[in-house]
Structure 1
Amino acid sequence: MTALTIAPRTLPRQQHTRAHLRLTTRGKAVIVLALALVALLALSWGRGGGVQASSISAGPATAYVSVEPGDTLWAIALRAAPGDDPRDTVDRILDLNAMTTTQLQPGQRLIVPAS
């Protein structure tokens, strides 16, 4: 009996060559700008999600008055908020105008709480 032996044929190894990507300075700048644009768009899109329009005011309403000769903070407080305690209104006027004294000058403009 004769035996027939088949030997596997060896294939030549293929060389895998990678093409190296070489970027010019202009190409690098384009990539950096594109990434920066994507980042800015992502940030602005993320920030806009929580913004809602509201008809609620940020604080209590105020108005301006001009001090007339002989006016006092008490008299202005009574005119500005007739239904409120004048002491509270005087304190509010002092706070709104960052005043450290109750002295008034004719022609001075004051911010007062609007009723």
Structure 2
Amino acid sequence: MSTITQPMNGRSTAAGLRLTVRGRRVLASLLLAPIGLGIGIGLAQIPAAFAGDSSIAAGETVEYEWRTVLGGESLWSISEEIAGNRDIRDVVHEIMRLNNLSTASVQAGQRIALPNF
């Protein structure tokens, strides 16, 4: 036969989960860590949002020469024409940056901006 002991005051011996002050702090920090990480990453992106061409003053407009790509032309052939004494790779990269191109391939009839050198 087994015996069951019951406290005299009628309360159960199994108390609920109790956290100490230190335990509450640890739990709160674990729950708030992803929020803090997200805020930190967002704040790190602020300089990139304000980045721009520092050689251009505020309110100043820049004019570019526009060119329509002819059949058989490539960014490399166009860059060779306008590069002068500059490295052709740098000119190709500048044209890609100005026109927001992810690759150096262009199509006949495409209009592109050329940098002013």
**TM-score band (shorter)?**
0.3 to 0.5
TM-score (normalised: structure 2): 0.45
* Rg (Cα) greater in structure: 1
- TM-score by length of structure 1 reads 0.45
